[in-house]
Amino acid sequence: MTRSSEKLVKLVSSASPGLIYLWLLALVVAPNLVLFGTSFFKASAGLVTDEVTLRNYAAVFQSRTVLVLVMRTLVTAFVAAALASLVAYPLAFYVSRYMRGMKQVAVMLVVIPLWISLLMRVFAWRVILGENGAINSLLVTLGILSEPSDAFLYTRFAVVLTLAYMAIPYVFVSSFTALERVPESLLEASRDAGANRFQTFTNVVWPLSRQGLAIGFSLAFLLAVGDYVSPSMVGGLNGTMLGMVIASQFGMAGNWPLGAAQAVILMLAVALILAVIGYLGRSKGIIQAVDSGAGATLKRAATLRGRIGQILLKLAVTLPYLFLYAPLVVTLVFSFNDSRVQTFPLTGFTLQWYRELWTNTALIEAFQRTLFVAVLSTAAGTVIGVAFALILAYRVRAFGNVLQLALAVPVAIPGIVLGISLAIVAQFSGLPQGLPRVIVGHLSFVMPVIMLIVLTRLRALDPSFVEASLDLGATRMKTLLHVLLPMIRSAIIGGAMLGFTLSVDEVIVTLFLTGTEPTLPVYVWNQMRFGFTPSINAIFTLIGLISVAFVLCGLWVINRTNARTLRA
Amino acid sequence: MSPVNASGPFLRLSGLSLSFGAYKALHDLSLDIGEGEFFSLLGPSGCGKTTTLRLIAGFEAPDRGNIWLAGDDITTLPPNLRDTNTVFQSYALFPHMTVWENVAYPLRMKGVAKAEIATRVDDAIAKVNLGAFAERLPHEMSGGQRQRAALARAIVGRPKILLLDEPLGALDLKLREQMQHVLVDLQKSLGITFIYVTHDQGEALSMSDRIAVMSGGLIQQIGTPEEIYYRPANAFVADFIGKSNRISASPNPGDAASLRFGPVDIPRSRVAGRAQPSAVALRFEALDVQPEGRCDVTFDARIARVMFLGSVIEVVMESGGQMLTSHVPSRKGLALKVGDTVPAGLLFDDVVYLDD
Ligand SMILES: Nc1ncnc2c1ncn2[C@@H]1O[C@H](COP(=O)(O)OP(=O)(O)OP(=O)(O)O)[C@@H](O)[C@H]1O
Ligand SMILES: [Mg+2]
């Protein structure tokens, strides 16, 4: 057994629920309370005074523009999430029910874009939609348009498209997981009872998988509502969203209390909508373990009979993938294009941007910072997340679910609100500006993600494993080391990988916490506003390729260990 | 593909073959089942019982062969249009529906009127004694209760054929026997054809009108329980059903047409008309110890082991260099001791000739 896992065990066994309360206080309760508190103070000349007032809320409700903005933000986010669901759920259904050999690949292909910088993908959309972009070039070349149109970029349509684009993988994974848990035997039982495919779907598949979709939808909605990076990049004036206005209150406008009030209102509206979605997506009953496993018959896989139907189906399955990969292809292509401006048509081939990478010290430093932050917050997040998951699963009797929910709050808060509330607390706490704040900020959402994944696995474990081990004379410590950890290893690895990804890619929270030392996404964000070097395309192409290789290796290792466990 | 005429069998499987990749799960399986029959498929794990049921239900399409139900070729008919219902090995109750909703499901799918649904569902639930559990969700019930709910859901639509896949597999002995009675009574009162899959021979023997014994995707024998038990068609059936002594046999050196196994000679008149068998099977209970009734042959045997099994005593003895096992009623066998030499006997009719 390795040294590090021994340390982990020591840490966990000495941990008590008290640690959870401490964490909650510092990273959940305090930021939200402070944000809430700030919204009740009067601002004057860019400073917060000690005068208590309701004026900030009144200001929100009296301003038509702000109210319209709130509505527009919610509607935009909702439409984007709905659009993502319309693409992702049917795709997940198809992959889960009708794919066999290519299933894993199909899933990985949807997930891989998550590993490639979100900023970069949004930026690529700008290149695709712009006046000199891919769509316009194509339409003009085909003669459909006589001259490039400006109808694509800097519109609400562009914002919705980009937000939906970003959300698809999340909705897909969540729906897919739920669909995979619906046993084939239930579908057969339904057909046996006389239901046709459509009735089987509405009566059995949908009620048993809609919770997964609801979770994915909520996630998509949250990401969209708290985003201000995409709207400001592709939205222009028409696509302004509340997040941008709130951010400006904490920046140039310098009215923290007003920004806090707006954030609180946004948060409450989001909570309300999520509650409704959660209610609509509620599930009833528990899928029994005995139902699962039955071999699915795929002989009757083809739903649409006939050749035309088959072609249409293939096309319908391929389109989402084209949509997912279009921005990545754009990034890759422009990393080899010998022009400083990102417009079509392409001008020529060059490796210049890759060469420039090595001389751009600011870029390299930003990259190093990003890695530093991600490694530290993932490592700490993994240790704490596993410890908390174990405590919640085996130590906490009452209120376990409440604690779990409370710990997950930072994941469920719009990014902009989380960033601002953490920034305010950090200011009070005296934590030095820069990387320490960024690391703590990332920890606040990386830890819960890892914890939730591990906890889900722990809850699904047959408790008799632990009992058997204790019964066979192992101490608690040895049980943990030899029984539990090996069984939840893949969940830990998966959680850590997801946490790492989230950290590496984070912009919004980081923007509020970082000082003069930008991480890579923040550096890119600044670049995109104040002059852009195509080297950024090059570094993201490299990062993309490396992470894909990394993911494939990871998959391979997991597959191998799984195969070994099965054989053993 | 000529249609079977009206007087033909109710359900006919003819020449069904099915492979999973390179693995042949069923080889050229043919079977006729009559209307209202309680028919069992019996065989060891993996022999293709579930696969056969799935073909009849329509979840699987055969590579070759046809299925006729009441004169119609249903080989390619999708499961929702077949007049068959299945009780699944895993119950497959819809987890998000109460027992009542589960049972109502087939009727709802058929578009039966609400009022009729209500009476028929209540009726079906009462038939399986689940009245008190109608509003429970599946995960709030015990295995036996779920079992009965699955049964109610399968019979409520009054299918022509009910397919049951080891429906009692998960139950304890007591509940099992109770459910066996429920099933047999139900089948008699509903008049539905039952096709019952099991690997428990006791269950098959006690409940069925006829049994098909399967192994390796092939049917080994079809017959009434008595035929299967007393006249196994081959070594596999003899081994699989009940407990038998398997004894290698050889021609009697004195009379080539008669047969000798262990201490026993069988005269040519009893073996006549058969190819020379290489072995015989003798049920444990067909070998009597200290016989009181009529025997065709008796011999002395030395007792090597005695084991008390409850209603019977298992006696292992040696005679003429051959180990033989006998089951004698407990009362009669209590006095037997290891080392005793006792008379043993048998009837020629009980000897089963195996040619393999
Ligand atoms: N979907 C499938 N893919 C590959 N092989 C299969 C599949 N379904 C069944 N088999 C194989 O076909 C054979 C027959 O399976 P079947 O389920 O009919 O057995 P069974 O007689 O019902 O056994 P049991 O008593 O264990 O339920 C088995 O060897 C099984 O491994
Ligand atoms: Mg089976």
> What are A18-27's pLDDT values in tens digits?
888 889 988 8
Question: Does residue B3 lie in a domain region?
Answer: no
Instruction: Give Cα A273 to chain centroid, integer Å.
Output: 19
Dump pLDDT digits (tens) for A27-72.
899 889 988 998 998 887 767 778 888 888 998 889 888 899 899 9
Note whether B312 and B166 are same-domain residues: no
Ligand 1 residue neighbourhood (C-beta within 6 Å):
A 295; B 20, 23, 25, 43, 45-51, 199
How many angstroms separate the CA of residue A175 from the nearest CA in chain B?
18
By the CB < 8 Å criterion, does A190 face chain B? yes
For residues B280 and B164, state if they share a domain.
Answer: no
Query: Which ligand gives the minimal distance to the CA of B88?
Result: 2
User: Which ligand is in closest contact with the Cα of B212?
Assistant: 1
Neighboring chain A residues of B59 at a CB cutoff of 8 Å: 188, 191-192, 297
Position B85 pLDDT exceeds 90? yes
pLDDT at position A300:
45
B269: pLDDT strictly greater than 80 = no
Structural domain count of chain B:
2
Q: What is the pLDDT of residue A334?
A: 85
Q: Do A185 and B61 touch (CB under 8 A)?
A: no
Average pLDDT, integer, range A451-478: 74
Q: Residues of chain B with pLDDT > 90: what percent? A: 48
Contacts with B109 (C-beta within 8 Å, 6 or more apart), sequence order: A190, A193, A194, A195, A199, B80
Kindly state whether residues B38 and B118 are assigned to the same domain: yes
Is B2 inside a domain boundary?
A: no
Q: Tell me whether residue B140 is in a domain.
A: yes
Of A7-21, B176-190, B261-275, the range with the highest mean pLDDT is: B176-190
Taking the CA of residue B89 as reference, the ligand 1 atom at the shortest distance is 27
Do B136 and B278 fall into the same domain? no
> Looking at the CA of B199, which ligand is closest?
1
Residue B138 three-state SS: helix
Range A163-180 average pLDDT: 92
pLDDT single digits (tens) B125-166: 998 889 999 999 998 898 888 988 999 999 999 999 999 998
Tell me, yes or no, whether A516 lies in a domain.
no
Lowest mean pLDDT across A417-421, A542-546, B86-90, B272-276: B272-276
Contacts of B247-250 with CB under 8 Å at 24 or more apart are B247/B279, B247/B280, B247/B281, B247/B282, B247/B322, B247/B324, B248/B278, B248/B279, B249/B277, B249/B278, B249/B279, B249/B280, B249/B353
> What gap in Å lies between CA B80 and CA A192, rounded to an integer?
5
**In angstroms, rounded to a whole number, what is the distance separating the alpha carbons of residues B99 and B88?**
15
Q: How far is B104 from chain A, CA to nearest CA, in Å?
A: 10
Q: Does A526 touch chain B (CB under 8 A)?
A: no
Which residue CA neighbors atom 24 of ligand 1 most closely? B45
Residues B91 and B182 in one domain: yes
Domain count, chain A: 1
Closest residue by CA, ligand 1 atom 7: B20
Q: Which of A262-276, A304-318, A515-529 has the lowest mean pLDDT?
A: A304-318
Q: How many angstroms separate the alpha carbon of residue B50 from the centre of ligand 2?
A: 4
Residues A291, B90: C-beta atoms closer than 8 Å? yes
Q: Which of B188, B204, B235 delimits the end of a domain?
A: B235
Q: Do A193 and B138 touch (CB under 8 A)?
A: no
Q: Do A284 and B137 touch (CB under 8 A)?
A: yes
Residue B289, beta-bridge partner list: B344
Which residue among B58, B80, B90 sits closest to A185, beta carbon to beta carbon? B90
Q: Copy the structure tokens of residue A231.
A: 């709207």
Gap from CA of B154 to ligand 2 centroid (Å): 18
Overall average pLDDT of the A91-102 stretch: 86
Residue A562 within a domain: no
pLDDT tens string B305-330: 999 988 899 999 998 888 999 999 98
Residues B203 and B228 in one domain: yes
Residue B10: the pLDDT is 92
Residue A188 Cα to ligand 2 midpoint, Å, equals 15
Average pLDDT, integer, range A462-491: 72
Give the integer Cα–Cα distance in Å for A253 and A45: 10
Residues B227 and B308 in one domain: no
Is A300 in Cβ contact with B95 (below 8 Å)?
no
Cβ-based contacts under 8 A for chains A and B: 96
Beta strand B23-33 with B38-42: parallel, antiparallel or unpaired? unpaired
CA distance A535 to B287: 92
State in Å: Cα B216 to ligand 2 middle: 13
Find the residue in B nearest to A284 (Cα).
Answer: B96
Looking at residue B3, its pLDDT comes to 39
Residue ranges near ligand 2 (ion) with Cβ within 5 Å: B 50
Q: What range defines the domain where residue A186 resides?
A: 57-350
Picking from B202, B235, B268, the residue at the C-terminal end of a domain is: B235
Per-residue pLDDT, A348:
84
Q: Measured in Å, how far apart are chain A's first and last C-alpha atoms?
A: 20
Q: Is residue B253 part of a domain?
A: yes
Nearest to A288 among B86, B138, B153 (CB): B138
Identify the CATH number of the domain in which residue A151 sits.
1.10.3720.10
Report, as an integer, the average pLDDT of A340-364: 82
**CATH code of residue B152:** 3.40.50.300
Ligand 1 pocket mutation pick from B16, B40, B50 by most atoms within 8 angstroms of CB: B50
* Residue B253 clears pLDDT 80, i.e. is over it: no
Round to whole Å and give the CA distance between B59 and B78: 8
- The alpha carbons of chain B give a radius of gyration, in whole angstroms, of 25
* Residue in A186, A190, A192, A201 to test binding to B, most B beta-carbons within 10 Å: A192
CA of B151 to the centre of ligand 2 (A): 17
In this structure, the number of other CB atoms found within 10 A of the CB of residue A349 comes to: 9
Cα of B20 vs centre of ligand 1, distance in Å, is 9
Atom of ligand 1 nearest to the CA of B197: 22
Residue to substitute in B16, B42, B49, B198 for testing ligand 1 pocket (most ligand atoms within 8 angstroms of CB): B49
Asked whether the predicted pLDDT for residue A294 surpasses 60, the reply is no
Atom in ligand 1 nearest the alpha carbon of residue B48: 18
Q: Which of the residue ranges A186-200, A306-320, B169-183 has the most confident prediction, judged by mean pLDDT? A: A186-200
Atom of ligand 1 nearest to the CA of B54: 18
Using CA positions, which residue lies closest to atom 19 of ligand 1? B46
State the CATH number of the domain containing residue B293. Answer: 2.40.50.100
Provide the percentage of residues in chain A whose pLDDT is more than 70: 87
Q: Do B288 and B345 form a contact (C-beta atoms < 8 A)?
A: yes
Q: Are A417 and A263 in contact (CB under 8 A)?
A: yes
Q: Would residue A19 count as lying in a domain?
A: no
Residue A453 CA to residue A460 CA, distance in Å, equals 11
Which residue shows structure tokens 């206080």? A25
Token match 């295995």: residue? B143
- Model confidence at A205: pLDDT above 50: yes
- By the 8 A CB rule, do B137 and A285 touch? yes
What pLDDT was estimated at residue B159?
92
Q: Give yes or no for a contact between B345 and B290, defined as CB atoms under 8 angstroms apart.
A: no
The sign of the dihedral angle between the CA atoms of A11, A12, A15, A20 is positive
Note whether B118 and B210 are same-domain residues.
Answer: yes
Domain for residue A13, yes or no? no
- State yes or no: ipTM above 0.90: no
Which residue of B lies nearest to A194 if distances are taken between CA atoms?
Answer: B80
The answer to whether residue A381 is domain-embedded is no
Is residue A436 within 8 A of residue A513, CB to CB? The reply is no
Q: Are residues B183 and B307 in the same domain?
A: no
Has residue A497 been placed in a domain?
Answer: no
Q: Is the pLDDT of residue A313 over 50?
A: yes
Q: Which two tokens stand for residue B232?
A: 């196994």
Let me know if residue A183 belongs to a domain.
Answer: yes
Angle ∠(A246,A250,A254) on CA atoms, nearest 5: 115
> In chain A, pLDDT over 90 holds for what percent of residues?
24
Q: Which amino acid is at B314?
A: E
Q: B11 alpha carbon to ligand 2 midpoint, in Å?
A: 21
* Residue B248 is assigned to a structural domain of this protein: yes
Domain co-membership, B274 together with B296: yes
**Is residue B224 located within the same domain as residue B264?**
no
State which residue of chain B sits closest to A282, comparing Cα positions. B96
A537 part of a folded domain: no
Does residue B29 lie within any of the structural domains? Answer: yes
Cβ contact, residue pair A285, B138, below 8 Å: yes
- Please indicate, yes or no, whether residues B275 and B201 belong to a single structural domain of this protein: no
Predicted confidence at residue A163, as pLDDT, reads 93
Average pLDDT, chain A: 82
Residue to mutate, B16, B24, B47, B88, ligand 1, most ligand atoms under 8 Å from C-beta:
B47
**Confidence at residue A118, expressed as pLDDT on a 0 to 100 scale:** 82
B75 CA from centroid of ligand 2 (Å): 21
- For A158, residues 6+ apart whose C-beta sits below 8 A from its C-beta are A125, A129, A152, A234, A235, A236, A239
User: What number does the ligand 1 atom closest to the CA of A296 have?
Assistant: 1
- Average confidence (pLDDT) over A195-218: 92
Residue span of the structural domain in which B44 resides: 11-235
Q: How far is the alpha carbon of B22 from chain A, nearest alpha carbon, in Å?
A: 15
**What per-residue confidence (pLDDT) applies to B292?**
85
* Residue B5: inside a domain: no
Q: Considering every ligand atom, which ligand is closest to the CA of A295?
A: 1
- Give mean pLDDT, residues B25-33: 93
